[in-house]
A = this chain, B = another copy of it.
Amino acid sequence: MLSERHLEVVLAVVYEYIKTGEPIGSRTISKKFLKDRSAATIRNEMADLEEMEYLYQPHTSAGRIPTPKAYRIYVDAIMRRQRSFPADSDGWMRELRARRRDVEEALGYATRLLGKITNYIGVAALGPASETVLQRVEFVRMGNRTVLILLVLKGGLIHHRTVVLPCDMTQDNLDELSRRVSTVALGRQWKDVRGILQAYVEDALERYADSCRAAIAEMDLILTEQPFQFFTGGTRNVLGMPDFSDLGRLQAMMGLLEEDESIGQLVHGCSAEQGLCVTIGDENPVFQMRDCSIVMASATAGGRRAVVGLIGPVRMDYERSISVLEGILGTLSDNNESEEGGL
């Protein structure tokens, strides 16, 4: 449906428009990209493309601007090619590698890095651990009935939460509780043991059955809800973004970045499929983002599923964005094991 000739024009327009931000005229294309065709010829083709909704004119006698459909074509073309990581950010990458020990910190750093390198907004989400296996359980008495629950998961993830139990327990009681829980649950999948835990614990602590039940319920909550964790970096760069049609929209979008849920939604789409995925403008599920494009990719870091991405204007430097993201992802992810024998 789209001839080779037409395709060439679309790609040229998108490429040039990304670079300049100005509407592109037929003359420019003819001179810079397709020297074997005159401006008039290009003009005819452009008219066709406009009919097909790959290009549009803001007004007669202005050049053409690519539509989302055109960006799509462009991005697909890019993805087929091989890219190389921009070399200029070697020092940063070392920094990032140094932080790999702590996944959360690494992801935070990665988003800030993405922001800095690309001038767009870096986002990341850290999914639940691939296996929910307890490595350590502690209950620490903080006040009358206030107890701190401390869970160390295999892989190094730590959860803690303060809860109020229905009845008072001494630290000795709590130690007994954690001993019992440990006996049953350590080194095993949580989902396999939580059912049988209650009975075994009450065996020794029946006087505190209520509190034990509450504690175990809370543990279950912590371990099964396992929400995504989110990171953003370079938020300031929204300001450098397109003359957003409307300031209100921009504000709405920034609002999203503060609310984890909506990022979750974004991530969700991507985390399903493996590899890199680019969402352009209104392809986006979250309507506040319809003026943005998102480049996302998932990886496994520290044994957990992670999604790292970039949010930028639709008129984004996709080529660069993608290669930067790939570079960071490579440094971050587990299969790039190197140095130190840890774990």
Contact = CB atoms under 8 A, between A and B. Distances in A.
A146 B142 CA distance: 29
Dominant secondary structure of chain A at its interface with chain B: mixed
Contacts of A233: 258
12 contacts: A101-B146, A101-B162, A102-B161, A112-B258, A144-B341, A144-B343, A150-B152, A233-B258, A236-B257, A236-B258, A237-B251, A239-B247
Given A138-B136, A235-B258, A156 B148 contact: yes
Contact of A236 (B135, B143, B254): B254
A50 B251 CA distance: 37
Closest 8 CB pairs of A and B: A236-B254, A143-B343, A143-B342, A239-B251, A146-B342, A236-B255, A136-B140, A236-B251
A222 interface: no
A112 B152 CA distance: 30
A88 to B, nearest CB: 20
A249 B239 CA distance: 11
Nearest to A102: B162
A239 B254 contact: yes
A156 B237 CA distance: 37
Interface in A204-240: 233-240
A98 B144 CA distance: 18
Interface residues of A, number: 40
A63 to B, nearest CB: 26
A177 to B, nearest CB: 15
B340 A164 contact: yes
A236 B341 CA distance: 43
Contacts of A255: 236
Nearest to A256: B236
Interface in A244-264: 247, 250-251, 254-255, 257-258
B239 A250 contact: yes
Given A143-B342, A240-B247, 8 more contacts: A101-B162, A101-B164, A144-B341, A150-B158, A233-B258, A235-B254, A236-B257, A240-B251
A43 interface: no
Interface in A126-173: 135-136, 138, 140, 142-146, 148, 150, 152, 156, 158, 160-162, 164
